[in-house]
Structure 1
Amino acid sequence: MRLLLALTLLALSGLTQAAIQTQEIPYESADGTKMIGYYAFDDAIKGPRPGIVVVHEFWGLNDYAKRRARDLAGLGYSALAIDMYGGGKNTEHPKDAMAFMQEVSKNSAVASARFQAGLDLLRKQPQTDPNKLAAIGYCFGGGVVLNAARQGLPLAGVVSFHGALTTNTPATPGSVKAKILVEHGARDSMVTAQNVTAFKAEMDKAGADYKFVSLADAKHGFTNPDADRLSHGDHGGPDIGYNKAADESSWKDMQAFFKKIFG
């Protein structure tokens, strides 16, 4: 009897896992860049559900960003990991990653257009409720979603994980429509205390609805289990590191945040 029960539970577990559907979807930005999105949803859920854009770290659209899309699908969302660099390219070499990031970041209009293209693609998916949209981003992607909020895009909320806080186009009073959650590592050497102070002052001046969480002992990249490995090597990796407690705490904060804004 116990064996039968165990086999039944195992079978049910397998069915649940198989319910997460994924696919790569080609799309194009207004600047003509051909991109590849990674879409995930739970087909056991019927009807449209809130849609969430996932914006990758400066490494590019890698397995980590795709995993987060699957994680969100498992929570009941329609999730799309978008491609900010084009062609789905990614790297583990920091110099290459920096070059990819700078190429996009040097022109804010290009970066905005590429995010918008991803958001439009997510909105078109039959599993997505087009009236309930949000975005999360990591590192470089955190800065991207914060800029989307600054621009007043039709997002219910954005979440930045160890993201860039500075911008060339600061928010203005009333421009920020989305609610904002920032999950920041207290030991992040890439985001200075001055950056944090300036960001909070910017948000306060703009009248934004935001929450800033500082996570003790967490460095840049604290959510990514590969961060420790990527911080070493003959290429001289960046000052990043995984922090399990901060990763789990920030993910719980995100879940509570989305539950609040989506109901």
Structure 2
Amino acid sequence: MKTRNFIILSILVTNVAMAQLKKVDYKDNMQILSGFSAIPKKSLANKPGILILPAWKGVDEHSKETATKLADMGYYAFVADIYGVDQRPKDTKEASAKAGYYKTNIEEYQKRISLALAELVKQGANADNIVVIGYCFGGTGALEAARTNMEVRGVVSFHGGLGKDELRELIAIQPKVLVLHGADDPYISEKEIRDFQNEMRITEADWQMNYYANAVHAFTEKSAGNDNSKGAAYNELADKRSWEAMKLFLKEVLK
């Protein structure tokens, strides 16, 4: 009887804890965008919000799972749609091309991020209490939120691209910056890392960069497999450590 009662209680607790995802349509002029909102059943004080920028294939299960986990912790969460409902890549070739377009046309990427931030606020998040996080291509976007001083308190990049156009003017960066990086990531060159760190110093940013041993690109993505020789692979320890680092960062920077 005790075992049965424990199982029933566990099911009830799980059902209470899990936040629900809701599809949210919004627009960039005529382009329909479709993100996902996760609203906490019990919000933290001051209604902090987390904007999630997905990897290069766009809105995916990983980003939606992240939104749910964050909402269960008391954060308002929103998964941004950067590409649009009819523009999402069908394969890695298309994903590379589309992500490359937004990296080249960076103002369009910045606009899509800003639109998603507005949707996060519409869902109930405090506009003065927001952090942007991103994975891979989304990590690049999170850094763009910092580089353009969007109205956010901090940004977190998980195995994201660090580079930018070298001709762009550098301005003082106000949001706090956390970069979570695979120590063996073959897609981020030493020059890119060095240039990024110099940028952070020149702009007087409050920044951190964590390296994770034996981790390559996409180390938080379970669907990437576990073969490091492919350049992108899941690493359970790096995934857990980077998540804990992000949680500590959120507690520090959010009101």
Do Structure 1 and Structure 2 share a fold, with TM-score over 0.5?
Answer: yes
- Helix, strand or coil at the partner of 2:77: strand
Matched, 1:133 2:125: no
RMSD of the alignment, in Å? 2.3
Matched, 1:216 2:213: yes
Find 2:142's aligned residue among 128, 141, 145. Answer: 145
What is the identity, as a one-letter code, of the residue corresponding to 1:191? I
**Is contact 2:43-2:76 (8 Å) kept?**
no
Which residue number in structure 2 is paired with residue 104 of structure 1?
102
Q: 1:88 to 1:43 in 2, by over 3 A?
A: farther
Matched, 1:75 2:73: yes
Question: Following the alignment from structure 2 to structure 1, what is the Cα–Cα distance between the partners of residues 252 and 113?
Answer: 24
What is the identity, as a one-letter code, of the residue corresponding to 1:111? Y
Find 1:193's aligned residue among 177, 180, 190. Answer: 190
Matched, 1:253 2:251: no
Q: CA deviation at 1:21?
A: 1.9
What is the identity, as a one-letter code, of the residue corresponding to 1:262? L
What is the identity, as a one-letter code, of the residue corresponding to 2:73? L
Gapped regions of structure 1 (runs ≥ 5): none
**Is contact 1:39-1:81 (8 Å) kept?**
yes
Identical-residue share of aligned pairs (%): 30
Matches within 5 A, 1:51-66: 51-66=49-64
Q: Tell me the TM-score normalized by structure 1.
A: 0.89
Question: Following the alignment from structure 2 to structure 1, what is the Cα–Cα distance between the partners of residues 127 and 78?
Answer: 13
Matches within 5 A, 1:1-263: 1-17=1-17, 19-29=18-28, 31-45=29-43, 49-87=47-85, 90-91=88-89, 93-126=91-124, 128-168=125-165, 170=168, 172-174=170-172, 176-228=173-225, 239-263=231-255
What is the identity, as a one-letter code, of the residue corresponding to 1:72? L
Q: 1:70 to 1:170 in 2, by over 3 A?
A: farther
Over residues 227-258 of structure 1, what are the superposed CA-to-partner deviations in whole Å (9 max), with x where a residue is unaligned? 128x89xxxx9620000000000000000000
Question: Following the alignment from structure 1 to structure 2, what is the Cα–Cα distance between the partners of residues 156 and 46?
Answer: 16
Misfit runs of 4+, over 4 Å: 88-92
Q: 1:177 to 1:47 in 2, by over 3 A?
A: closer
Question: Following the alignment from structure 1 to structure 2, what is the Cα–Cα distance between the partners of residues 171 and 209?
Answer: 19
- Helix, strand or coil at the partner of 1:166: coil
